[in-house]
């Protein structure tokens, strides 16, 4: 029996259908987020290369940190023992400094839900985004880095009806791709999602949280910025000395965040390098308070304990060393060697 030139054997046709179905299935799957795969700047401004991934903490915790009760009494007790630099709005925003065990803390305390507002500010007012593969980039494809002082005093940081009081550097960036590696939400718009890194989320009605947030969860944030690793989790301090939860301690990188250079993060945490952290606590009213803190000549465990003593139940580390910068009313709080960074957490007061 002769075969038409256009006829196809059944086995071949079945294979074509199977391959096509598989391709359609894969196309319908959500893209897997791609984390940063490049070197990062180290202390002293040198670059550390290499793609080897350090081991995360075993059996990582996850989700969003839950408060263990109001931290307001602890906050006020800690504040009374610190040097108040300025109080704005009757306790809405306060700037403090404190000498601690041979080191120093500079920190801003913000009561959420009132006249204070917190927002992410990007270098040059640029928009963070992701490329086709999910890797971080600026939407215009350019490089954007500024000091926090430059960002805080630039026109693009201004918000109608509000005065910018202070700002702190936070997000990590690479040498080539200079936008924040973590998630970024500004004014309710999800600009970048990285579920592999913990995020500070400022939600509505005076609430803030820290945790591993999916793209869907980020939609509930008015402002959000990624950092990491978490250094305080539900009242427990991150430590390189334990491999599991032990008393007041959790393992370093307790959420198993995706860091190419996790060993470097561990080195910074255990050393006395300048450090950056944001922590959240619960007020008696049920609303949140936020602390933006920079430390000097302190190891990470001591910083985390200080944040816990302020009444915070969770804290997220930010970029450190020469990236550590806190600005108050347009001026650096502490003069030091600094480098340009991609973004900052800014604090405003309604006028």
Average pLDDT of every residue of the chain: 87
How far apart CA 79 and CA 216 sit, in angstroms, is 36
Q: Does 179 have pLDDT greater than 60?
A: yes
Query: What average pLDDT does the segment 20-48 reach?
Result: 37
Kindly calculate the radius of gyration of the chain based on its CA atoms and give it in whole angstroms: 23
How far apart CA 330 and CA 162 sit, in angstroms, is 15
- % pLDDT > 90, the chain: 77
Exposure string for 51-87, b = 16+ CB within 10 A, e = fewer: eeeeebbeeebeeebebeeebbebbeebbeebeeeee
Token pair recorded at residue 70: 């109001």
pLDDT at 174 (0 to 100): 85
Per-residue confidence band for 345, with pLDDT thresholds at 50, 70 and 90: very high
Comparing 138-142, 256-260, 277-281, the range with the smallest average pLDDT is 256-260
Q: Does 177 have pLDDT greater than 70?
A: yes
Per-residue pLDDT of 147-169, as tens digits, reads 999 999 999 999 999 999 999 99
How far apart CA 77 and CA 125 sit, in angstroms, is 38
How far apart CA 34 and CA 111 sit, in angstroms, is 35
pLDDT at 39 (0 to 100): 31
Q: Does 347 have pLDDT greater than 50?
A: yes
How far apart CA 19 and CA 327 sit, in angstroms, is 57
Comparing 5-9, 264-268, 319-323, the range with the smallest average pLDDT is 5-9
pLDDT at 60 (0 to 100): 65
Q: Does 248 have pLDDT greater than 50?
A: yes
- % pLDDT > 70, the chain: 83
DSSP codes joined into one string, 295-315: EES--HHHHHHHHHHTTEEEE
Per-residue confidence band for 261, with pLDDT thresholds at 50, 70 and 90: confident
Per-residue pLDDT of 212-235, as tens digits, reads 999 999 999 999 999 999 999 999
pTM score of the predicted model: 0.84
Query: What average pLDDT does the segment 5-16 reach?
Result: 45
- Going edge to edge, which strands form the sheet with 343-350? 116-122, 343-350, 162-169, 326-328, 331-332
Q: Does 35 have pLDDT greater than 70?
A: no
Q: Does 18 have pLDDT greater than 70?
A: no
pLDDT at 17 (0 to 100): 45
Q: Rounded to the nearest 10 degrees, how much is the dihedral formed by the CA atoms of 271, 182, 72, 119? A: 120
Q: Does 274 have pLDDT greater than 70?
A: yes
Q: Does 22 have pLDDT greater than 90?
A: no
Q: Does 34 have pLDDT greater than 60?
A: no
How far apart CA 168 and CA 343 sit, in angstroms, is 9
DSSP 2: -
């Amino acid at each position: 029996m002769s075969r038409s030139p256009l006829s196809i054997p059944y086995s071949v046709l079945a294979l074509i259908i199977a391959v096509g179905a598989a391709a359609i299935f894969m196309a319908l799957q959500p893209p897997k987020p791609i984390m940063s795969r490049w070197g990062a700047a180290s202390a002293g401004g040198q670059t550390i290369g290499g793609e080897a991934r350090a081991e995360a903490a075993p059996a990582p915790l996850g989700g969003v940190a839950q408060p263990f009760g109001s931290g307001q009494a602890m906050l006020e007790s800690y504040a009374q023992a610190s040097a108040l630099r300025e109080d704005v709005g009757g306790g809405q925003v306060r700037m403090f400094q404190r000498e601690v065990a041979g080191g120093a803390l500079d920190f801003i305390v913000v009561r959420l839900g009132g006249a204070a507002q917190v927002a992410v500010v990007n270098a040059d007012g640029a928009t963070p985004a992701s490329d086709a593969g999910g890797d971080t980039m600026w939407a215009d494809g350019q490089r954007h880095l500024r000091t926090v002082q430059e960002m805080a005093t630039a026109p693009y940081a201004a918000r109608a009806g509000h005065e910018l009081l202070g700002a702190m550097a936070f997000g990590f960036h690479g040498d080539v791709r200079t936008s924040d590696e973590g998630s970024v939400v500004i004014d309710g718009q999800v600009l970048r999602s990285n579920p592999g890194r913990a995020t500070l989320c400022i939600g509505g009605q005076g609430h803030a949280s820290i945790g591993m947030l999916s793209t869907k969860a980020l939609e509930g944030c008015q402002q959000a910025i990624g950092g990491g690793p978490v250094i305080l989790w539900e009242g427990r301090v991150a430590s390189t000395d334990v491999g599991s939860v032990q008393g007041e301690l959790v393992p370093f990188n307790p959420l198993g965040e995706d860091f190419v250079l996790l060993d470097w993060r561990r080195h910074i945490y255990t050393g006395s390098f300048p450090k950056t952290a944001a922590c959240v606590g619960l007020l008696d009213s049920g609303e949140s308070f936020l602390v933006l803190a920079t430390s000097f000549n302190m190891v990470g465990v001591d910083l985390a304990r200080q944040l816990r003593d302020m009444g915070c139940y969770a804290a997220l580390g930010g970029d450190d060393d020469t990236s550590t910068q806190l600005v108050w009313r347009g001026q650096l709080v502490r003069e030091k060697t600094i480098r340009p960074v991609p973004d900052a957490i800014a604090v405003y007061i309604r006028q």
